[in-house]
């Protein structure tokens, strides 16, 4: 708000100066013409002041109209931010993760939902690109199989922690492949993608296919807020930064994914390049997402 007031004062000063300057120029021209007609000097000066005042008034009216319009647009934008906040508060997500020997459900509300989204996308990426091979989809017998492997690790390797982690990762990949219907054909096709950005976009696309319905209103509000700022607010970067500043790191990461996978949608904005700078860049892979999940 302070930045906007400062900008408006600057605009007003410049507009007033230019208006007065133009008024004096027009007044001087009138005086020159009247001088040739032998009109009194005092009358000439009065006419110059009148013309300058008229031009200044016109400039002031134009500025006031512009300023009041920007104020209304700004109020609308802040209302949109408040609406986004309410949408986030109402978010409810549920995920299924592997916990040692079986799968369990975890529930997330409000801002914690973005932790879940990042974790799920991270799990998809791990299964497709980091694990190193395809793991068949989990079945009803997977818990028994996992327990047997854990017992074997205890008996043969004295419960080696690195082996335990590998077992958990393998069964998490199997569970992820089941949840997102990743078969061996889809896995092999994914290996042909070499671009890091395209890989993450594909992983987020799989997540949206499963959970996108629950985030529809949120993503629509993000787009509408940026679209409104693009169309009506003079300082797009200021308001886009304001939108971003109200997000957690996880939420920013989710919006990054969304912008990257919907660049055709955001490509229609005048400030599309600024949108991509703010929200269209990938964070480096965060392997600690899963560790930050609440139990």
Residue 291 has pLDDT above 90, yes or no: no
* Cα 222 to Cα 34: distance, rounded to the nearest angstrom: 61
Q: If pLDDT is split at 50, 70 and 90, which confidence band does 286 have?
A: very low
Question: Is 208's pLDDT higher than 90?
Answer: yes
- pLDDT-derived band at 294 (thresholds 50, 70, 90) equals very low
The pLDDT value given to residue 285? 46
Tell me the pLDDT band of 5, cut-offs 50, 70 and 90.
Answer: very low
Mean pLDDT to the nearest integer, 142-171: 92
Judge whether residue 4 has pLDDT over 80.
no
For residues 239 and 227, is the Cβ–Cβ distance under 8 A?
A: no
> What confidence category does residue 157 fall into, taking pLDDT thresholds of 50, 70 and 90?
confident
What pLDDT score does 71 carry? 85
Above 80 in pLDDT, residue 221? Answer: yes
Convert the pLDDT of each residue in 28-62 to its tens digit.
555 555 555 555 555 555 555 555 555 555 555 55
pLDDT greater at residue 27 or residue 253? 253
Q: In the structure, what pLDDT confidence band is assigned to residue 17 with cuts at 50, 70 and 90? A: low
């Amino acid at each position: 708000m302070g930045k906007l007031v400062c900008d408006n004062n600057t605009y007003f000063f410049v507009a007033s100066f230019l208006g007065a300057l133009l008024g004096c120029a027009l007044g001087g021209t009138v005086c020159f013409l009247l001088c040739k007609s032998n009109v009194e000097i005092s009358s000439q000066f009065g006419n110059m002041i009148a013309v300058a005042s008229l031009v200044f008034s016109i400039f002031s009216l134009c500025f006031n109209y512009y300023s009041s319009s920007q104020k209304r647009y700004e109020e609308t934008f802040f209302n949109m931010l408040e609406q986004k906040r309410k949408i986030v508060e109402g978010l409810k997500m549920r995920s299924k993760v592997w916990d040692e020997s079986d799968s369990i459900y975890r529930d997330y509300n409000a801002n914690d939902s973005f932790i879940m989204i990042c974790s799920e996308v991270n799990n998809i990426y791990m299964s497709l690109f980091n694990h190193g091979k395809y793991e068949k989809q989990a079945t009803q017998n997977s818990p028994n199989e996992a327990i047997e492997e854990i017992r074997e690790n205890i008996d043969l390797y004295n419960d080696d922690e690195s082996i335990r982690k590998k077992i958990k990762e393998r069964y998490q990949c199997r569970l992820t492949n089941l949840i997102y219907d990743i078969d061996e054909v889809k896995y092999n096709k994914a290996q042909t993608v070499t671009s890091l950005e395209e890989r993450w976009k594909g992983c987020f696309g799989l997540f949206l296919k499963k959970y996108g319905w629950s985030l529809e209103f949120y993503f629509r509000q993000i787009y509408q807020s940026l679209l409104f700022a693009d169309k009506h607010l003079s300082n797009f970067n200021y308001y886009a930064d304001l939108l971003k500043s109200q997000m957690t790191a996880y939420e920013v990461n989710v919006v990054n994914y969304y912008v990257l996978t919907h660049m055709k949608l955001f490509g229609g904005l005048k400030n599309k390049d600024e949108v991509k700078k703010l929200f269209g860049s990938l964070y480096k892979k965060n392997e600690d997402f899963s560790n930050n999940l609440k139990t």
